[in-house]
Structure 1
Amino acid sequence: MTITTDRSGQASPETLSARDPRSAALGAALAGPLVSTQWLCDHLGSDGLVVVDATVVAATGPDGRVGYVSGAEQYRAGHLPGAVFADLLDPFSDPAARFPFTRPGAEGFANAVAALGVDSETTIVIYDAAVGQWASRLWWLFRSFGHHRVAVLDGGVTKWSGEDRPLESGDVVPRPVGDVTVTELPGFWSDRDDVAAVLSGDRAGTLVCGTPPRDFAARHLPGSVSAPAVRLMDRATNAFLPRAELREIFADVLASPDPIVAYCGGGIAAAADALALALLGRDDVTVYDGSLNEWTSDPEAPLARL
């Protein structure tokens, strides 16, 4: 089966006609890129719904540098009822790529989603045990490969468990599905040449950086606007801030009509910025997949500091 949508996320007629009615109802219930914990509680166990844990864990190596490891162990210790685990290190990134968290190709992505029990009729709700950046990254991947019935659980496991909702332990075996064919859509990703064109003035664009303030001060693309992903969330619940507060954070970005390129260290926090901008009605956002990992690999590439 082929998942095809346009950039706005509207399904093609042939996809719509193939839906199971119950799955269609779930899809219609996704009023936007976020669902609340109450929405998920009300719909858990519904036919056509797959809940996905996308947690990645930061780990400090022997050299003192911070890296990332799979969140599978944390998932097994406690996850939302019925949730399956998606490993963003592999296969939801390309492990053979030069830079960490490089997005997979269409075939790799199709195989990965099939292994989760996801097909073109599935409604997907993604969460993580961090501040939502990993869930946002997987949400962006799904949308870029044409699957629009996908949302992020607002607040993730932090808000869910903070409301004394149930957790389970161990692995969940995904339901079997057939082959899934996906189509990578234009308009979701920027590359190094796109960013260079923005910096040179050959292409209109607003650069938005999702790295923490300290990292932004140390290095960022010239002319960037700082919108740290960690500041998009309520500190107590990890839920996104109210729209009015998000508009204040993105005020300089929203004031420009130019298309937006979100980036960070490796294209993860940038996805949280992209989700927040989607909440504010912007559908002209791309994510620079390689982000600073790729950009700084060229010692001649321009950088700015505060």
Structure 2
Amino acid sequence: MSMFGDNCPLVLTPRQLSDLDPTKVSVLDASWHMPNSPRKAREEFLKRHIPSAQYLDLDEVASPHELGLKHMMPSPEAFAKACEGYGISPESHVVLYDAHGVFSSPRALFMFRAFGHNRSSILDGGLPNWEAHGCSTEEGEAKQVTRSSYPVPNLDQDVIRSYEQIVNNCALDPSKEETAEVVLDARPNGRFTGKDPEPRPGLSSGHIPHSLSLPFSTFLQSRTYTPTGKGAPITFTEMASSSTLHESLEGAVGKELADQIRAGKRSVTASCGSGMTAGVIWLALKIMGVEKVGLYDESWTGYAARDSSKIEKSA
């Protein structure tokens, strides 16, 4: 069991991770890159990763989808099988990180928490922050681990939104009807308005009716460090300060609606391009103490791919 017991923090610093008992912690590299990126997460893992880390491919640990969408939430059986392969038991403290800093690791954390594995955290700033703190890395394949036993868990259905739920909800105006969920879109604003194209060819940009734009980057801050004798400076992201998180939420939805969300009077659905960076919104709201927050698993890729979907664009 982790030194934190059942109350593992959502976010750990490199110092906190390095202080944990390595025999009781499972570290997973959950790096993922956009489909138009030349970067290859698994290849980068082989070049350097946190000692004893294993690579978590969120596209492989996923359920098949009727539209062929990637990294959808796995079935309880698939999740349990993956945990067993990583040597993770229900008592393990799972620490997730990515190579960007904070990008895909929150989505991985959402997955673990949705299956009730609350002994889980992300590493703030990911691999770059780990290195910036002078912590060591290793290369090559992940070390072999002893398979564990992981009972098939229950998925918390209250934190996943389906296409049908989104369609029903977007008929309601959250500024006028208190029963409407507030849908926050994590994509860059240009894609939300329809000004900029989607990275997936043939997919229209725009947004779900009555959704609100809240780019995931507004919940992050950038830092730069220069590796000792190893070349150019490296810029990475980490979670922004608590005050910035609250300011960003208010800037997107207004203070009145933000107060209702924080007080638990309104529920939130996080969405993005494919369900990945929506995890950053989910994590930020959880850090703020918001309980009623779910994630639209398909996100914009699933929504816009359907001919029946209503798509709005704005200047």
Q: What range is the shorter-chain TM-score in?
A: 0.7 to 0.9
Runs of 4+ in 1 over 6 A off after TM superposition: none
**1:276 alignment counterpart:** 284
Q: 1:46 Cα deviation (Å)? A: 2.9
Cα distance in 2 for partners of 1:174, 1:182 equals 25
Equivalence map 1:52-63=2 (5 Å): 52-58=28-34
C-alpha distance after superposition, 1:13-67 (max 9, x if no partner): xxxxxxxxxx15343562x210111101211x432211110011335xxxxxx26
CA-based RMSD: 2.0
Q: Unpaired runs of 5+ in structure 1?
A: 1-22, 60-65
Equivalence map 1:1-306=2 (5 Å): 23-28=1-6, 30=8, 32-43=9-20, 45-58=21-34, 66=36, 71-90=41-60, 92-95=61-64, 97-98=66-67, 99-180=69-150, 181-201=152-172, 203-218=179-194, 219-236=206-223, 237-251=236-250, 252=253, 254-256=258-260, 257-306=265-314
Q: 1:174 Cα deviation (Å)? A: 4.4
Cα distance in 1 for partners of 2:188, 2:126 equals 20
SS at match of 2:104: helix
Scaled by the length of structure 2, the TM-score of the pair is 0.82
Cα distance in 1 for partners of 2:304, 2:214 equals 20
Would the aligned equivalents of 2:96 and 2:108 in 1 still touch at CA under 8 Å? yes
Cα distance in 1 for partners of 2:217, 2:138 equals 27
Would the aligned equivalents of 2:171 and 2:209 in 1 still touch at CA under 8 Å? no
Instruction: Give % identity.
Output: 22
Cα distance in 1 for partners of 2:112, 2:187 equals 23
Q: Unpaired runs of 5+ in structure 2?
A: 195-205, 224-235
Q: Which amino acid aligns with 1:48?
A: K
Q: 1:118 Cα deviation (Å)? A: 0.7
Q: 1:119 to 1:174 in 2, by over 3 A?
A: farther
Would the aligned equivalents of 1:126 and 1:138 in 2 still touch at CA under 8 Å? yes
Across the two proteins, how many residue pairs are aligned to each other? 275
Would the aligned equivalents of 2:209 and 2:311 in 1 still touch at CA under 8 Å? yes
Cα distance in 2 for partners of 1:29, 1:42 equals 17
Q: 1:72 Cα deviation (Å)? A: 1.3
Cα distance in 1 for partners of 2:96, 2:193 equals 31
Cα distance in 1 for partners of 2:92, 2:66 equals 29
Cα distance in 1 for partners of 2:190, 2:171 equals 26
